[in-house]
Structure formats: C-alpha cells, structure tokens
Amino acid sequence: AQKVTQAQTEISVVEKEDVTLDCVYETRDTTYYLFWYKQPPSGELVFLIRRNSFDEQNEISGRYSWNFQKSTSSFNFTITASQVVDSAVYFCALSEGHQAGTALIFGKGTTLSVSS
C-alpha cells in the first residue's frame, strides 16, 4: 500500500530564512508519481510540481527547489529566502500511476508560517 509521511506538522520561520519541508513515501511499485501542492490561507489547492519515479533530477523554480532521492524514498521541498506569502499548508502526494483507477494519496501536510 502506498503511504506519504510529512513528519513536520508545523514550521515557523522568519522572512528570508531558508526552509525545507520533508516528504517520505512508501510504495511497492517501480512506476509512480510524486506531487507537491500548496494551500494558502484562502483555502484553494495549488499544484506546484510533479515528478515521476524515473526522473531523479532535482528541480528549481525561482525560490523553490525539490530534491528527489529514491534511495531514501524522499521528495523534499526547499524554499529559499522565504517570504510571508509562502505561509501556507504544503501537501506532498503520491500516485502509483500505472495502475488503473489510481488516485493521489496525500500526506497530512506541513503548515508553514513565515513572519516578517
């Protein structure tokens, strides 16, 4: 069975600090997809990134970067020079994409609070 663990329930940082959100996943499949979503205080869910199990390249998008390591089953998310607007709940999710009818399984989320 697939599982996603986000051990950090809440993180508080001061603006301009770097912060890393951890995500550890479990799956028995060799083909799977990992996602990160952001949920700001307004409540909507915003897609940030998708990574498939065959692509271990790290990804950088502006202040955001993602580190995918199959050896440790982790897909961590780093925000560099955090800003108040980064305050949100961040969800990591996993899908065993090759199976018919699969859906995303989400972790419990990490609440990030960035203060000025």
Partner 1 sequence: NAGVTQTPKFRVLKTGQSMTLLCAQDMNHEYMYWYRQDPGMGLRLIHYSVGEGTTAKGEVPDGYNVSRLKKQNFLLGLESAAPSQTSVYFCASSYGQGTSPLHFGNGTRLTVT
Judged by the rule CB under 8 A, the positions of this chain that interact with partner 1 are 6, 9, 33, 35, 37, 43-45, 47, 50, 52, 91, 95-109
In b/e form, how buried is each residue of 45-66, taking b as 16+ CB within 10 angstroms? Answer: eeebbebebeeeeebeeeebbb
**37 bridge partner residues:** 47, 91
How far apart are alpha carbons 29 and 6 in whole angstroms?
20
Q: Shortest gap between Cβ of 112 and partner 1 (angstroms)? A: 15
Q: Shortest gap between Cβ of 8 and partner 1 (angstroms)? A: 13
Nearer Cβ to partner 1, position 80 or 111? 111
Strand pairing class (24-26; 33-39): unpaired
Nearer Cβ to partner 1, position 15 or 47? 47
Q: Shortest gap between Cβ of 79 and partner 1 (angstroms)? A: 20
Nearer Cβ to partner 1, position 16 or 98? 98
**Dihedral angle sign, alpha carbons of residues 71, 93, 38, 46:** positive
How far apart are alpha carbons 24 and 95 in whole angstroms?
13
Nearer Cβ to partner 1, position 13 or 104? 104
Q: Shortest gap between Cβ of 37 and partner 1 (angstroms)? A: 8
